[in-house]
Structure 1
């Protein structure tokens, strides 16, 4: 009996190690040392459809700078993220605002993403323990459970992965009561230098009051290879690069 339990434990450990290795490879592929991108975010709700055009610069997982290009009424709004802190500059009132913890779960630019999504960008490898639910050919399904004391909002994430391309196909997010909260799907996989990434991602909330809601992000330009000027990741950049 002890021998059987030992074999089960070894098999579980091997599966856990394999799952962590998959997540590590996926994150390495999706994140470069530097990333510049332009994208369109199409927000659909019961109030209709709107498009937001965005320009973004990031360094690793800790620093990012975002500028709104369109629509005209929002043009020049900028966001700065350093670690887990976030600031916003609004050119119409010439004011820089630090986003307080009480606003972290509010909608970002009217989308289904929240301010918390924009700030946390948690590392799946560092913040979650991964286990392998299934594997068939080049595809696997993983379950991610938050590690103790990890600063994340999800009770768990179930993720389908294309192992050959090291990209996610679908992510299902659960709250701390293990209720499904939202689904993210990824498509149009393209190679950009040494990275292969989904150029389209769509977020669907599962709240009954948001049945018609969808947020689709379409990447238009992506560059992983060019170092970004450090001046983008300063509070002075919020106003300077707003123009």
Structure 2
């Protein structure tokens, strides 16, 4: 994990609540709903990006705006009652894997704010999953900045003991 100072920080989401354990101060901290759109660990991802409090399928209406031999492009607009931050999302989806390849996030004034690119699709068991995610801000104040996440391994369709999903387990798994 880079940077080294963030090693051992663990996160837990239960329903609409999110906690993190910070080993440097040996404390479990609740992340309030007001912080869900804030930067995740100083990166270009938000807390909401990682735990998906908002739902692309439930909070947005979708329109197919183009398609090629390789991908579909969808435009997503928030539903009237949805409490979401993005005024519009444009998403390209691979026809081969039915996974997103590029996601463009626009504000309410239709200004491009950031771009998320998924790449390096790998097979984990019977599942295809992008192993590289790169978030790039498109605003002038963050020009030249980007954050990447690399997935080295993923396990799907496995039984997980409910004891893993407790605040007490956050400290235990921070090692």
TM-score by length of 1: 0.66
Higher percent of residues as helix: 1
- The aligned counterpart of 1:241 is 173
Runs of 4+ in structure 1 off by over 6 angstroms are: none
- Measured in 2, the distance between the counterparts of 1:89 and 1:121 equals 19
Matched, 1:132 2:84: no
- Measured in 2, the distance between the counterparts of 1:185 and 1:234 equals 32
Where does structure 1 lack aligned partners over 5 or more consecutive residues?
A: 1-39, 41-50, 53-70
Matched, 1:206 2:149: no
Distance 1:241 1:131, change over 3 A: same
Matched, 1:113 2:45: yes
Secondary structure, in 3 states, of the residue corresponding to 2:93? strand
- The aligned counterpart of 1:146 is 78
**8 Å CA contact retained: 1:83, 1:119:** no
**8 Å CA contact retained: 1:134, 1:140:** yes
Q: Which structure exhibits the higher relative contact order, with contacts defined as CA atoms closer than 8 Å and separated by 6 or more residues?
A: 1
| Superposition pairs of residues 160-179 of structure 1, within 5 angstroms | 160-179=92-111
- Measured in 1, the distance between the counterparts of 2:51 and 2:121 equals 25
- The aligned counterpart of 1:183 is 115
- Measured in 2, the distance between the counterparts of 1:240 and 1:186 equals 31
- Measured in 1, the distance between the counterparts of 2:52 and 2:16 equals 6
- 1:185 CA displacement: 1.0
How many pairs were matched up?
175
- 1:117 CA displacement: 2.2
TM-score by length of 2: 0.90
- 1:193 CA displacement: 2.5
- Measured in 1, the distance between the counterparts of 2:37 and 2:60 equals 21
Secondary structure, in 3 states, of the residue corresponding to 2:168? helix
- Measured in 2, the distance between the counterparts of 1:199 and 1:116 equals 19
- Measured in 1, the distance between the counterparts of 2:34 and 2:62 equals 30
- 1:138 CA displacement: 3.7
**8 Å CA contact retained: 2:44, 2:147:** yes
Distance 1:137 1:92, change over 3 A: closer
- 1:103 CA displacement: 2.8
Distance 1:75 1:185, change over 3 A: closer
